[in-house]
Chains A and B, each alone.
Chain A
Amino acid sequence: QQQVKQSPQSLIVQKGGISIINCAYENTAFDYFPWYQQFPGKGPALLIAIRPDVSEKKEGRFTISFNKSAKQFSLHIMDSQPGDSATYFCAAPETSGSRLTFGEGTQLTVNP
């Protein structure tokens, strides 16, 4: 079964700083690697996703970096804002392609 390890468990950043969350996987179907954002009391929502044939994808202040050889990918949040305070989950598809395995989550707090 796919193992997805996410770090850190919690992260506190000052407004304007860079938030970095890391994810490591074991095996995958190599379809895509998404990051989800979850606010308290809400369901997760897709933030950004990357396909493994590219090393980096940027959408506004959010960037995914992908290292296929190391089996790692990371989320960078530039110019972090208090509104970014949420829990972030990475996910990787199982080798069978039948389901996603999520990381344990990172609780991000951005102080004003």
Chain B
Amino acid sequence: NAGVTQTPKFQVLKTGQSMTLQCAQDMNHEYMSWYRQDPGMGLRLIHYSVGAGITDQGEVPNGYNVSRSTTEDFPLRLLSAAPSQTSVYFCASSYGLRIPEAFFGQGTRLTVV
């Protein structure tokens, strides 16, 4: 059972480049989300989805797009990378928001130069 799988683990981008962070889960969870983690700021929600075809913005959505075409996959797209997007990104999934346990991926460390 793989759980939540994120790729890549590390990525360096130049300012202005675009890329997609991949996230896949094999637990048939309806709820998926993307967070960014910065020192001293905890985990901040970027976007989330309550099911296939449904997405919504979190706390810090600017500069990011998401889509949810299947239950399993929830990719995060950086449209035009900026140094302020240098961070560690985590994807998470759960049966539903009102269920306490969210399963997190291993994270993607992104550096924008």
Contacts and interface: CB of A to CB of B under 8 A. Distances in A.
B53 interface: no
Interface in A74-94: 89, 93
B58 interface: yes
Contacts of B74: none
B105 interface: yes
Contacts, number: 62
Contacts of B48: 98-99
Contact of A44 (B40, B44, B104): B104
Interface residues of A, number: 26
Contacts of B50: 98
Interface of B: 4, 33, 35, 40-45, 48, 50, 56, 58-59, 90, 92, 97-98, 100-102, 104-107
